[in-house]
Amino acid sequence: MIFVLYVLLALLFITLSLHFLSPKEFFVKSKVIVKREPAEIFEYLRLLKNQSNWSFWEKDNRFFESGIIGEDGELGAVRFWESATSVGQGEQKIIHINAPHRIDTELSFMNFSLFKCFLYYKVGRNSMHKTFVEVGFSAKMGFPVNIMVMLRGSRKRAQLGFDESMQNLKAILEVDSGQSSSSNNAVS
Protein backbone atom coordinates (compact mmCIF):
# COMPACT_ATOMS: atom_id res chain seq x y z
CA MET A 1 0.00 0.00 0.00
CA ILE A 2 2.80 2.42 0.88
CA PHE A 3 4.60 1.48 -2.34
CA VAL A 4 1.51 2.41 -4.38
CA LEU A 5 1.30 5.74 -2.53
CA TYR A 6 4.96 6.49 -3.35
CA VAL A 7 4.38 5.63 -7.00
CA LEU A 8 1.33 7.91 -7.16
CA LEU A 9 3.24 10.74 -5.46
CA ALA A 10 6.15 10.28 -7.87
CA LEU A 11 3.78 10.41 -10.87
CA LEU A 12 2.12 13.52 -9.45
CA PHE A 13 5.52 15.16 -8.90
CA ILE A 14 6.68 14.32 -12.46
CA THR A 15 3.42 15.59 -13.98
CA LEU A 16 3.53 18.85 -12.02
CA SER A 17 7.21 19.34 -12.87
CA LEU A 18 6.52 18.83 -16.57
CA HIS A 19 3.59 21.24 -16.38
CA PHE A 20 5.67 24.01 -14.81
CA LEU A 21 8.68 23.40 -17.09
CA SER A 22 6.75 23.19 -20.35
CA PRO A 23 5.88 26.34 -22.28
CA LYS A 24 2.36 27.74 -21.98
CA GLU A 25 2.64 29.60 -25.28
CA PHE A 26 3.77 28.42 -28.66
CA PHE A 27 4.81 30.58 -31.62
CA VAL A 28 6.25 29.72 -35.04
CA LYS A 29 6.57 31.74 -38.21
CA SER A 30 7.86 31.25 -41.70
CA LYS A 31 8.65 33.69 -44.47
CA VAL A 32 9.34 33.50 -48.21
CA ILE A 33 10.22 36.01 -50.89
CA VAL A 34 8.00 35.87 -53.98
CA LYS A 35 8.45 37.60 -57.34
CA ARG A 36 4.92 38.90 -57.57
CA GLU A 37 2.92 42.02 -56.70
CA PRO A 38 1.74 42.23 -53.06
CA ALA A 39 -1.89 42.91 -54.01
CA GLU A 40 -2.06 39.77 -56.16
CA ILE A 41 -0.58 37.64 -53.38
CA PHE A 42 -2.94 39.12 -50.82
CA GLU A 43 -6.00 38.39 -52.96
CA TYR A 44 -4.87 34.78 -53.37
CA LEU A 45 -4.17 34.35 -49.64
CA ARG A 46 -7.44 35.84 -48.46
CA LEU A 47 -9.43 33.03 -50.10
CA LEU A 48 -9.38 30.20 -47.56
CA LYS A 49 -10.17 27.63 -50.27
CA ASN A 50 -6.75 28.26 -51.84
CA GLN A 51 -5.03 26.66 -48.85
CA SER A 52 -5.92 23.31 -50.42
CA ASN A 53 -3.32 24.07 -53.10
CA TRP A 54 -0.35 24.73 -50.82
CA SER A 55 -0.99 23.65 -47.22
CA PHE A 56 1.49 21.02 -46.01
CA TRP A 57 -1.19 19.44 -43.82
CA GLU A 58 -3.64 19.05 -46.68
CA LYS A 59 -1.56 18.73 -49.83
CA ASP A 60 -1.00 14.97 -49.86
CA ASN A 61 -3.70 13.94 -47.39
CA ARG A 62 -6.34 11.98 -49.29
CA PHE A 63 -8.42 11.73 -46.10
CA PHE A 64 -8.81 15.52 -45.83
CA GLU A 65 -12.23 17.05 -46.47
CA SER A 66 -12.97 20.75 -46.14
CA GLY A 67 -15.58 23.37 -46.88
CA ILE A 68 -16.37 27.07 -46.44
CA ILE A 69 -19.17 28.73 -44.49
CA GLY A 70 -19.89 32.33 -45.43
CA GLU A 71 -18.31 34.38 -48.20
CA ASP A 72 -14.76 33.14 -48.72
CA GLY A 73 -12.15 35.84 -48.24
CA GLU A 74 -14.44 38.08 -46.19
CA LEU A 75 -14.52 38.82 -42.48
CA GLY A 76 -16.28 36.00 -40.62
CA ALA A 77 -15.73 33.36 -43.31
CA VAL A 78 -15.03 29.94 -41.79
CA ARG A 79 -13.13 27.08 -43.34
CA PHE A 80 -13.84 23.76 -41.67
CA TRP A 81 -12.06 20.46 -42.15
CA GLU A 82 -12.07 16.86 -41.09
CA SER A 83 -9.12 14.52 -41.40
CA ALA A 84 -8.29 11.02 -40.26
CA THR A 85 -4.70 12.13 -39.55
CA SER A 86 -3.22 14.14 -36.68
CA VAL A 87 -4.82 17.34 -38.00
CA GLY A 88 -8.20 16.00 -36.91
CA GLN A 89 -11.28 18.17 -37.12
CA GLY A 90 -11.25 21.95 -36.91
CA GLU A 91 -12.14 25.39 -38.15
CA GLN A 92 -10.34 28.53 -39.30
CA LYS A 93 -12.22 31.83 -39.11
CA ILE A 94 -11.15 35.16 -40.61
CA ILE A 95 -11.26 37.62 -37.70
CA HIS A 96 -9.45 40.64 -39.15
CA ILE A 97 -8.46 41.88 -42.60
CA ASN A 98 -6.08 44.77 -43.18
CA ALA A 99 -6.02 44.80 -46.99
CA PRO A 100 -3.60 44.43 -48.71
CA HIS A 101 -1.18 43.69 -45.88
CA ARG A 102 -2.50 41.24 -43.29
CA ILE A 103 -5.14 38.60 -42.59
CA ASP A 104 -5.74 37.30 -39.06
CA THR A 105 -7.55 34.05 -38.41
CA GLU A 106 -8.56 32.05 -35.37
CA LEU A 107 -8.09 28.29 -35.38
CA SER A 108 -10.14 25.84 -33.38
CA PHE A 109 -9.12 22.21 -33.16
CA MET A 110 -12.05 20.11 -32.00
CA ASN A 111 -9.73 17.45 -30.53
CA PHE A 112 -7.99 20.00 -28.28
CA SER A 113 -10.48 22.47 -26.89
CA LEU A 114 -8.03 23.39 -24.13
CA PHE A 115 -6.16 25.99 -26.14
CA LYS A 116 -6.77 28.82 -28.56
CA CYS A 117 -4.75 29.33 -31.72
CA PHE A 118 -4.24 32.26 -34.05
CA LEU A 119 -2.73 32.35 -37.52
CA TYR A 120 -1.80 35.41 -39.55
CA TYR A 121 -0.63 36.02 -43.10
CA LYS A 122 1.38 39.16 -43.74
CA VAL A 123 2.29 40.49 -47.20
CA GLY A 124 4.68 43.35 -47.94
CA ARG A 125 7.10 44.77 -50.45
CA ASN A 126 10.66 43.52 -49.99
CA SER A 127 12.33 45.19 -52.98
CA MET A 128 11.49 46.46 -56.46
CA HIS A 129 9.96 43.25 -57.83
CA LYS A 130 9.88 41.03 -54.77
CA THR A 131 7.31 40.60 -52.03
CA PHE A 132 7.61 38.86 -48.68
CA VAL A 133 4.89 36.55 -47.43
CA GLU A 134 4.95 35.62 -43.76
CA VAL A 135 2.77 33.21 -41.84
CA GLY A 136 2.72 33.13 -38.06
CA PHE A 137 1.01 30.71 -35.69
CA SER A 138 0.52 31.20 -31.98
CA ALA A 139 -1.25 29.18 -29.32
CA LYS A 140 -1.86 29.49 -25.60
CA MET A 141 -2.06 26.09 -24.01
CA GLY A 142 -3.27 24.81 -20.68
CA PHE A 143 -2.66 21.57 -18.86
CA PRO A 144 -2.24 18.83 -20.20
CA VAL A 145 -1.85 20.13 -23.78
CA ASN A 146 1.34 22.05 -22.95
CA ILE A 147 2.99 18.82 -21.74
CA MET A 148 1.86 16.91 -24.85
CA VAL A 149 3.22 19.65 -27.13
CA MET A 150 6.59 19.57 -25.38
CA LEU A 151 6.92 15.78 -25.33
CA ARG A 152 5.74 15.24 -28.92
CA GLY A 153 8.01 17.89 -30.45
CA SER A 154 4.95 19.64 -31.89
CA ARG A 155 6.66 23.02 -32.21
CA LYS A 156 9.40 21.64 -34.45
CA ARG A 157 6.89 19.71 -36.58
CA ALA A 158 4.73 22.83 -36.92
CA GLN A 159 7.77 24.87 -38.00
CA LEU A 160 8.65 22.30 -40.67
CA GLY A 161 5.02 22.25 -41.85
CA PHE A 162 4.82 26.04 -42.18
CA ASP A 163 8.20 26.18 -43.94
CA GLU A 164 7.04 23.61 -46.48
CA SER A 165 3.68 25.36 -46.90
CA MET A 166 5.42 28.66 -47.65
CA GLN A 167 7.65 26.97 -50.25
CA ASN A 168 4.55 25.39 -51.86
CA LEU A 169 2.85 28.81 -51.91
CA LYS A 170 5.91 30.45 -53.48
CA ALA A 171 6.03 27.79 -56.22
CA ILE A 172 2.34 28.27 -57.05
CA LEU A 173 2.52 32.07 -57.10
CA GLU A 174 5.68 32.22 -59.18
CA VAL A 175 4.64 29.58 -61.73
CA ASP A 176 1.53 31.59 -62.57
CA SER A 177 3.58 34.73 -63.07
CA GLY A 178 6.12 32.85 -65.22
CA GLN A 179 8.90 32.91 -62.60
CA SER A 180 9.18 29.21 -61.71
CA SER A 181 8.47 25.80 -63.17
CA SER A 182 8.26 23.73 -59.97
CA SER A 183 4.45 23.52 -59.77
CA ASN A 184 1.50 23.14 -62.12
CA ASN A 185 -1.00 24.89 -59.85
CA ALA A 186 -2.12 28.33 -60.92
CA VAL A 187 -3.39 31.28 -58.97
CA SER A 188 -7.16 31.56 -59.38
What percent of the chain has pLDDT above 70? 81
What integer pLDDT is reported at residue 1 of this predicted model? 83
DSSP per-residue letters across 94-139: EEEEETTTEEEEEEEETT-TTEEEEEEEEEEEEETTEEEEEEEEEE
Find out whether 116 and 5 touch, Cβ atoms under 8 Å: no
Render pLDDT for 38-51 as a digit per residue (tens, 0 to 9). 999 999 999 999 99
pLDDT mean over 136-163: 78
| Segments making up each domain of the chain, as ranges | 25-176
Indicate if the pLDDT at residue 36 is higher than 80: yes
Render pLDDT for 82-124 as a digit per residue (tens, 0 to 9). 887 767 788 999 999 999 999 999 998 876 665 678 999 999 9
Rg of the chain (C-alpha set): 20
pTM: 0.79
What integer pLDDT is reported at residue 181 of this predicted model? 38
Indicate if the pLDDT at residue 125 is higher than 50: yes
* CATH number belonging to the domain at 25-176, selected among 3.40.50.720, 3.30.470.20, 3.30.530.20, 3.30.1050.10: 3.30.530.20
Indicate if the pLDDT at residue 23 is higher than 80: no
**Mean of the per-residue pLDDT values for the chain?**
83
What integer pLDDT is reported at residue 176 of this predicted model? 61
Q: How confident is the model at residue 142 (pLDDT cuts 50, 70, 90)?
A: confident
